Amino acid sequence: MIGVFDSGLGGLGIFRKIKLFLPYEDIVYYADNKNAPYGNKSEDKIKELTLNSLKLLEKKGCDIIVVACNTATTSGIDYYRKQIKAHIIGVVPVVKTAAQMTTKKRIAVLATKYTIQSRYLDDLIKKFAPKIKVKKIACEGWVKAIENNTVTDALLKKCLKNISNEDVVVLGCTHFTLIKGHIQRLLGPDAKVVSSNDAVARHVMRVGMKYRLLSNKPRKSKYIYLCSDNSKKYTDKIKQYV
Protein backbone atom coordinates (compact mmCIF):
# COMPACT_ATOMS: atom_id res chain seq x y z
CA MET A 1 0.00 0.00 0.00
CA ILE A 2 1.16 3.52 -0.82
CA GLY A 3 0.68 6.47 1.51
CA VAL A 4 0.65 10.12 0.47
CA PHE A 5 0.92 12.80 3.13
CA ASP A 6 0.55 16.57 2.97
CA SER A 7 -0.56 19.34 5.29
CA GLY A 8 -3.66 19.70 3.16
CA LEU A 9 -4.75 19.40 -0.46
CA GLY A 10 -1.36 20.01 -2.08
CA GLY A 11 -0.27 16.40 -2.35
CA LEU A 12 -3.30 15.51 -4.45
CA GLY A 13 -1.42 16.38 -7.64
CA ILE A 14 1.08 13.67 -6.78
CA PHE A 15 -1.73 11.35 -5.68
CA ARG A 16 -3.33 11.69 -9.12
CA LYS A 17 -0.05 10.93 -10.89
CA ILE A 18 0.51 7.81 -8.79
CA LYS A 19 -3.03 6.64 -9.63
CA LEU A 20 -2.24 7.18 -13.31
CA PHE A 21 1.11 5.36 -13.27
CA LEU A 22 0.09 2.60 -10.83
CA PRO A 23 -3.65 2.00 -11.32
CA TYR A 24 -3.71 -1.30 -9.42
CA GLU A 25 -2.22 -0.02 -6.15
CA ASP A 26 -4.10 0.83 -2.97
CA ILE A 27 -3.39 4.39 -1.84
CA VAL A 28 -4.08 6.22 1.42
CA TYR A 29 -4.12 10.01 1.33
CA TYR A 30 -3.69 11.79 4.65
CA ALA A 31 -4.03 15.55 5.10
CA ASP A 32 -2.99 17.17 8.37
CA ASN A 33 -5.48 19.96 7.73
CA LYS A 34 -5.97 20.59 11.44
CA ASN A 35 -2.44 21.99 11.62
CA ALA A 36 -2.14 23.52 8.15
CA PRO A 37 -0.39 25.51 6.84
CA TYR A 38 3.11 24.28 7.68
CA GLY A 39 5.07 27.01 5.91
CA ASN A 40 4.97 29.48 8.81
CA LYS A 41 5.85 27.00 11.57
CA SER A 42 9.20 26.29 13.24
CA GLU A 43 11.38 23.42 12.04
CA ASP A 44 10.84 21.46 15.25
CA LYS A 45 7.07 21.79 14.98
CA ILE A 46 7.07 20.75 11.33
CA LYS A 47 9.15 17.68 12.16
CA GLU A 48 6.84 16.73 15.02
CA LEU A 49 3.68 17.04 12.93
CA THR A 50 5.18 15.26 9.93
CA LEU A 51 6.54 12.36 11.95
CA ASN A 52 3.16 11.83 13.64
CA SER A 53 1.50 11.73 10.22
CA LEU A 54 4.02 9.27 8.82
CA LYS A 55 3.58 6.99 11.82
CA LEU A 56 -0.18 7.02 11.21
CA LEU A 57 0.28 5.96 7.58
CA GLU A 58 2.74 3.26 8.58
CA LYS A 59 0.20 1.86 11.02
CA LYS A 60 -2.32 1.80 8.19
CA GLY A 61 -0.02 -0.65 6.40
CA CYS A 62 1.76 1.64 3.94
CA ASP A 63 5.04 0.21 2.61
CA ILE A 64 5.88 3.37 0.66
CA ILE A 65 5.05 6.83 1.98
CA VAL A 66 5.37 10.04 -0.02
CA VAL A 67 6.00 13.20 1.97
CA ALA A 68 4.11 15.23 -0.63
CA CYS A 69 5.01 18.54 0.96
CA ASN A 70 8.11 20.55 0.13
CA THR A 71 8.10 22.25 3.53
CA ALA A 72 7.96 18.93 5.41
CA THR A 73 10.59 17.35 3.18
CA THR A 74 13.09 20.19 3.47
CA SER A 75 12.66 20.27 7.25
CA GLY A 76 14.22 16.81 7.66
CA ILE A 77 13.68 13.99 5.16
CA ASP A 78 16.69 12.07 6.50
CA TYR A 79 15.31 12.38 10.02
CA TYR A 80 12.01 10.80 8.99
CA ARG A 81 13.78 7.94 7.24
CA LYS A 82 15.56 7.07 10.47
CA GLN A 83 12.27 6.99 12.40
CA ILE A 84 10.04 5.13 9.92
CA LYS A 85 10.55 1.61 8.54
CA ALA A 86 8.47 2.22 5.41
CA HIS A 87 10.23 3.58 2.31
CA ILE A 88 10.05 7.38 2.52
CA ILE A 89 10.00 9.49 -0.64
CA GLY A 90 10.25 13.26 -0.39
CA VAL A 91 9.45 16.10 -2.75
CA VAL A 92 11.71 19.08 -3.32
CA PRO A 93 11.76 22.01 -5.76
CA VAL A 94 12.96 20.76 -9.16
CA VAL A 95 15.91 23.14 -9.37
CA LYS A 96 17.96 20.63 -11.37
CA THR A 97 15.26 20.28 -14.05
CA ALA A 98 14.78 24.04 -14.25
CA ALA A 99 18.52 24.65 -14.58
CA GLN A 100 18.61 22.26 -17.55
CA MET A 101 15.59 23.93 -19.20
CA THR A 102 16.46 27.62 -18.92
CA THR A 103 17.97 29.36 -21.92
CA LYS A 104 18.35 32.71 -20.16
CA LYS A 105 20.18 31.23 -17.16
CA ARG A 106 17.51 32.73 -14.95
CA ILE A 107 14.89 30.79 -13.01
CA ALA A 108 12.38 31.57 -10.26
CA VAL A 109 11.26 29.38 -7.36
CA LEU A 110 7.81 29.91 -5.86
CA ALA A 111 7.37 28.30 -2.44
CA THR A 112 6.35 28.80 1.18
CA LYS A 113 8.36 31.10 3.42
CA TYR A 114 9.94 28.12 5.19
CA THR A 115 11.12 26.43 1.99
CA ILE A 116 12.44 29.69 0.54
CA GLN A 117 14.51 30.30 3.67
CA SER A 118 15.67 26.69 4.05
CA ARG A 119 19.26 25.56 3.79
CA TYR A 120 17.99 22.59 1.80
CA LEU A 121 16.90 24.85 -1.07
CA ASP A 122 20.18 26.77 -0.93
CA ASP A 123 22.06 23.48 -1.19
CA LEU A 124 19.97 22.42 -4.20
CA ILE A 125 20.82 25.68 -5.93
CA LYS A 126 24.53 25.39 -5.16
CA LYS A 127 24.61 21.81 -6.40
CA PHE A 128 22.45 21.96 -9.51
CA ALA A 129 22.34 25.63 -10.52
CA PRO A 130 25.67 27.18 -9.54
CA LYS A 131 25.83 29.30 -12.70
CA ILE A 132 22.13 30.13 -12.81
CA LYS A 133 20.57 33.25 -11.32
CA VAL A 134 17.80 31.96 -9.07
CA LYS A 135 15.08 34.28 -7.75
CA LYS A 136 13.44 32.88 -4.62
CA ILE A 137 9.89 34.11 -4.00
CA ALA A 138 7.91 33.37 -0.82
CA CYS A 139 4.21 33.28 -1.72
CA GLU A 140 2.41 34.29 1.46
CA GLY A 141 -1.26 33.38 1.65
CA TRP A 142 -1.32 31.07 -1.35
CA VAL A 143 -1.68 27.81 0.57
CA LYS A 144 -4.54 29.13 2.69
CA ALA A 145 -6.31 30.50 -0.39
CA ILE A 146 -5.98 27.19 -2.23
CA GLU A 147 -7.32 25.33 0.80
CA ASN A 148 -10.29 27.69 1.03
CA ASN A 149 -10.85 27.96 -2.74
CA THR A 150 -10.40 31.74 -2.57
CA VAL A 151 -7.56 32.13 -5.08
CA THR A 152 -7.74 35.39 -7.02
CA ASP A 153 -5.61 36.89 -9.77
CA ALA A 154 -4.81 39.80 -7.46
CA LEU A 155 -3.34 37.47 -4.82
CA LEU A 156 -1.23 35.60 -7.36
CA LYS A 157 0.01 38.78 -9.02
CA LYS A 158 1.48 40.04 -5.74
CA CYS A 159 4.14 37.35 -6.11
CA LEU A 160 4.21 36.86 -9.86
CA LYS A 161 5.00 40.54 -10.44
CA ASN A 162 8.48 39.74 -9.11
CA ILE A 163 9.13 37.49 -12.11
CA SER A 164 10.65 39.42 -14.99
CA ASN A 165 13.39 37.84 -17.11
CA GLU A 166 13.12 34.33 -15.62
CA ASP A 167 12.05 31.87 -18.31
CA VAL A 168 11.51 28.84 -16.05
CA VAL A 169 9.33 28.97 -12.92
CA VAL A 170 9.54 26.20 -10.33
CA LEU A 171 6.47 25.38 -8.25
CA GLY A 172 8.24 24.62 -4.96
CA CYS A 173 5.06 23.84 -3.04
CA THR A 174 2.74 21.00 -3.98
CA HIS A 175 -0.30 23.17 -3.28
CA PHE A 176 0.77 25.45 -6.11
CA THR A 177 0.54 22.59 -8.62
CA LEU A 178 -3.23 22.61 -8.10
CA ILE A 179 -3.39 26.10 -9.62
CA LYS A 180 -0.69 25.61 -12.24
CA GLY A 181 -3.08 26.62 -15.00
CA HIS A 182 -3.83 29.94 -13.29
CA ILE A 183 -0.14 30.65 -12.80
CA GLN A 184 0.67 29.79 -16.41
CA ARG A 185 -2.13 32.03 -17.68
CA LEU A 186 -0.85 35.02 -15.71
CA LEU A 187 2.77 34.47 -16.69
CA GLY A 188 1.99 33.94 -20.36
CA PRO A 189 3.01 31.30 -22.89
CA ASP A 190 6.74 32.05 -22.88
CA ALA A 191 7.27 30.98 -19.27
CA LYS A 192 7.86 27.29 -18.53
CA VAL A 193 6.12 26.32 -15.27
CA VAL A 194 7.45 23.07 -13.79
CA SER A 195 6.75 20.86 -10.78
CA SER A 196 7.95 17.57 -9.34
CA ASN A 197 4.66 15.63 -9.58
CA ASP A 198 5.65 13.36 -12.48
CA ALA A 199 9.15 12.73 -11.12
CA VAL A 200 7.85 11.76 -7.69
CA ALA A 201 5.28 9.34 -9.11
CA ARG A 202 7.95 7.70 -11.26
CA HIS A 203 10.19 7.36 -8.22
CA VAL A 204 7.37 5.64 -6.34
CA MET A 205 7.13 3.19 -9.23
CA ARG A 206 10.89 2.53 -9.18
CA VAL A 207 10.94 1.92 -5.42
CA GLY A 208 7.89 -0.33 -5.62
CA MET A 209 9.44 -2.41 -8.40
CA LYS A 210 12.84 -2.61 -6.72
CA TYR A 211 11.44 -3.96 -3.45
CA ARG A 212 8.63 -5.96 -5.09
CA LEU A 213 5.89 -4.02 -3.33
CA LEU A 214 3.56 -3.59 -6.32
CA SER A 215 0.64 -5.73 -7.48
CA ASN A 216 1.55 -8.41 -10.01
CA LYS A 217 -1.76 -8.41 -11.83
CA PRO A 218 -4.72 -6.15 -12.59
CA ARG A 219 -7.03 -5.61 -9.63
CA LYS A 220 -9.49 -3.09 -8.32
CA SER A 221 -7.59 -0.64 -6.19
CA LYS A 222 -8.77 1.02 -2.98
CA TYR A 223 -8.40 4.72 -2.27
CA ILE A 224 -8.73 5.92 1.30
CA TYR A 225 -8.95 9.61 2.25
CA LEU A 226 -8.15 10.75 5.78
CA CYS A 227 -7.66 14.10 7.50
CA SER A 228 -6.53 15.11 10.98
CA ASP A 229 -9.72 16.96 11.96
CA ASN A 230 -11.75 13.86 11.00
CA SER A 231 -14.34 15.91 9.14
CA LYS A 232 -16.39 14.47 6.30
CA LYS A 233 -16.52 17.96 4.83
CA TYR A 234 -12.76 17.97 4.29
CA THR A 235 -12.54 14.43 2.93
CA ASP A 236 -15.32 15.36 0.49
CA LYS A 237 -13.19 18.33 -0.57
CA ILE A 238 -10.26 15.96 -1.16
CA LYS A 239 -12.42 13.75 -3.38
CA GLN A 240 -13.28 16.73 -5.59
CA TYR A 241 -9.62 16.86 -6.68
CA VAL A 242 -9.12 13.17 -7.41
Q: Active site includes 69?
A: yes
**Cβ atoms 32, 5 nearer than 8 A:** yes
Q: Active site includes 62?
A: no
Short-list 91, 75, 71, 55, CA closest to 7? 71
Short-list 62, 175, 169, CA closest to 53? 62
For residue 56, the 8-state DSSP code is H
- Helices 12-21, 232-241: axis angle to 10 degrees equals 50
- AA identity, residue 109: V
Annotated catalytic residue, options 69, 139, 159, 227: 69
**Cβ atoms 94, 194 nearer than 8 A:** yes
Annotated catalytic residue, options 62, 139, 159, 173: 173
The residues annotated as belonging to the active site are 69, 173
